[in-house]
């Protein structure tokens, strides 16, 4: 079992719809959770972080964390073609501040 698992996609949604991206992790000691966006050929860019159970909203983005289920999700409201990218889920297990990444989910927003 991989430490951080994501569906590789592609996830295709129409413009204006809600895109829902999911991630599960195996280490219950994980403390911090991040979503990075990566455009093709570019480096990862942080878009959301979440540290406690529940929802965290930032503009069109909402991160959701359920530590009991070891599950993190990212919702993108009013999806735009410019949101088309790979979304990487990353988990920090604590003391080392080392991030473990999933393989990413490719999102394609259709105009």
Residues that bind other proteins (CB under 8 A): 4, 8, 31-32, 34, 36, 42-46, 49, 51, 88, 90, 94-104
Q: How far is the CB of 107 from other proteins (least distance, A)?
A: 15
Distance (Å, whole) CA 25 – CA 58: 23
Q: How far is the CB of 92 from other proteins (least distance, A)?
A: 8
- Of the pair 8, 16, the CB lying nearest other proteins is at 8
Q: How far is the CB of 80 from other proteins (least distance, A)?
A: 23
């Amino acid at each position: 079992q991989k430490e951080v698992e994501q569906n590789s996609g592609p996830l295709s949604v129409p413009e204006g719809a809600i895109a829902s991206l999911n991630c599960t992790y195996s280490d219950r000691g994980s403390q911090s959770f991040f979503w990075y966006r990566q455009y093709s050929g570019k480096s990862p860019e942080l878009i959301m972080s979440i540290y406690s159970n529940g929802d965290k909203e930032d503009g069109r983005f909402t991160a959701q964390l359920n530590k009991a289920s070891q599950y993190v999700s990212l919702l993108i409201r009013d999806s735009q073609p410019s949101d088309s990218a790979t979304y990487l889920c990353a988990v920090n297990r604590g003391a080392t501040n080392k991030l473990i990444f999933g393989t990413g989910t490719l999102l394609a927003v259709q105009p």
